Amino acid sequence: MTVEMISVGTEILLGNIVNTNAAYLAEKCALLGLSCYYQSVVGDNEERLEDAIRLGLSRSDILILSGGLGPTKDDLTKEVTAKVFGRELYEDAHTKERIQQYFRQVHSSQVTPNNWKQALVPEGAKVVDNHNGTAPGLILEENGKIAILLPGPPNEIKPMFEQDIAPYLNKLQPEGIYSKMAKICSIGESKAETMISDLMDAQTNPTIAPYAKTGEVHLRVTAKADSEEKAQELMAPMMEELFQRFGDKIYTTEEDVTLEEAIVRMLEADGMTVTTAESCTGGLLAGRITNVPGASNVYKEGYITYSNDAKERLLHVKRETLMQHGAVSPQTAYEMAEGVAFAAGADASLSITGIAGPGGGTEEKPVGLVYIGCYVKGHVRVEEFYFTGNRDKNREYAVARALTLLREELLERR
């Protein structure tokens, strides 16, 4: 089956917001075994939106529209789609009650009259409850063609798609598509792909595909089967083989678990605490860790020591170390890692010092040079890295490498 995505909103056309929904939906639909040949963006214009919908339905089995379901006059997706399908709108009592309840719980205020526009649904449409907003999702079916209307905000579209739309689409397939993920750190993309090249060459069902992420490689194993149980049986030998080849470099097989979450779980299991000392990353590492729910069980405090004075005063980095070797040096990273662990009374620590760019580099210490220190139970390890991206990328990679280093040391010291 073929699927086509239409993103609705003038703000997308003008570049005011980044269209992350299209990338998300395309990836999810591919995993469901749907073929996508077209994507488009249409502004809040009735005529152009109608043209886009009619064209999409003429060449694709399924049309997924995101955005344009809000309460204002320029939100036209539902109205135009209903027109194309020849459906009248009616007020859905269930949706109206959910909107009322949402306002009572979230806004503690009365519903404004224009919000009742969101309770209008096309005749014969399947209504998909929105558990994170007021605009419901809608599914219209006609003569083998399907239009799926989803709200625009990512925090609404993603849970709705995963909870309701993906199962609906999966049932349309003669065989269901199921997948498992192996997330890997400590190995680069090229090496990881080389290690599974024979599996990729011989693949039929299941298949395996690598995806490069910042500082990580994700391997997705996908199987077609008429039941999830059979798919799991097909994927089990492949997953076992991946563990044989990559071992503990696989930090999770759970789709939604991040590297930082896996590390927080390790620290919790070992009854350990961690702290951070950052210079060039300016708190990004602390942010990654504290994004994890429950991180407060293992992360008590962190330090941003951008200046030499702060490194001396807060982390007790020796002045002679800074004078002789500089702030960007393995010696300073070592003393930062050791000093912050003692300052915070933590079992483990990470330190980052480097030159993120675009300026500040020299021939001896170029932009992208970063030293990362890791302290675990009295042992300190320092690694040197040369990143070649822009300032943002260099900082992102430094954080990813720091997390990987911490995980390696936690495994080593267990």
Please identify, among 219, 252, 285, the residue that sits at the C-terminal boundary of a domain: 252
Q: What is the mean pLDDT of residues 23-27?
A: 94
Let me know whether 181 and 164 are in one domain: no
Q: What is the mean pLDDT of residues 99-117?
A: 83
Let me know whether 160 and 18 are in one domain: yes
> Can you give the CATH number for the domain in which 28 is found?
3.40.980.10
- pLDDT tens figures, 206-236: 999 999 999 999 999 999 898 889 999 999 9
Let me know whether 245 and 296 are in one domain: no
Give the SS3 label for residue 104.
helix
By CB atoms closer than 10 A (0-12, 13-18, 19+), residue 241 is middle
**Amino acid 32: pLDDT:** 87
**Amino acid 107: pLDDT:** 62
pTM of full prediction above 0.85: no
**Amino acid 226: pLDDT:** 85
Residue 149 CA to residue 157 CA, distance in Å, equals 10
Please identify, among 222, 252, 282, the residue that sits at the C-terminal boundary of a domain: 252
Sequence-distant (6+) residues with CB within 8 A of 247 are none
Q: What is the mean pLDDT of residues 53-76?
A: 96
> Can you give the CATH number for the domain in which 225 is found?
3.30.70.2860
Cβ contact 121:89 at 8 Å = yes
Domain interval for residue 361: 259-412
Q: How many domains does the chain have?
A: 3
Q: What is the mean pLDDT of residues 97-113?
A: 82
**Amino acid 105: pLDDT:** 81
**Amino acid 268: pLDDT:** 97
Q: What is the mean pLDDT of residues 46-74?
A: 97
Confidence of residue 177 (pLDDT cuts 50, 70, 90): confident
Residue 180 in tokens: 């498992």
Q: Is the pLDDT of residue 53 over 70?
A: yes
Q: What is the mean pLDDT of residues 307-322?
A: 97
Q: CB 115: neighbour CB atoms within 10 A?
A: 19
Contacts 24+ apart (CB under 8 A), 164-169: 164/128, 164/129, 164/137, 165/128, 165/137, 166/28, 166/32, 168/139, 169/3, 169/29, 169/32, 169/34, 169/62
Mean pLDDT, the chain, as a whole number? 95
Q: What is the mean pLDDT of residues 58-84?
A: 96
Q: Is the pLDDT of residue 174 over 90?
A: no
Backbone angles phi, psi at 291, to 5 degrees: -70, -20
**Amino acid 400: pLDDT:** 97
Q: Is the pLDDT of residue 409 over 80?
A: yes
Sequence-distant (6+) residues with CB within 8 A of 225 are 175, 176, 178, 231, 234
Confidence of residue 108 (pLDDT cuts 50, 70, 90): low
Sequence-distant (6+) residues with CB within 8 A of 327 are 279, 308, 311, 353
**Amino acid 103: pLDDT:** 86
Confidence of residue 170 (pLDDT cuts 50, 70, 90): confident
Closest CA relative to residue 50, chosen from 87, 10, 83: 83
Let me know whether 86 and 213 are in one domain: no
Please identify, among 172, 190, 213, the residue that sits at the C-terminal boundary of a domain: 172
Cβ contact 302:283 at 8 Å = yes
Q: What is the mean pLDDT of residues 150-177?
A: 92
Q: Is the pLDDT of residue 109 over 80?
A: no
Cβ contact 359:330 at 8 Å = no
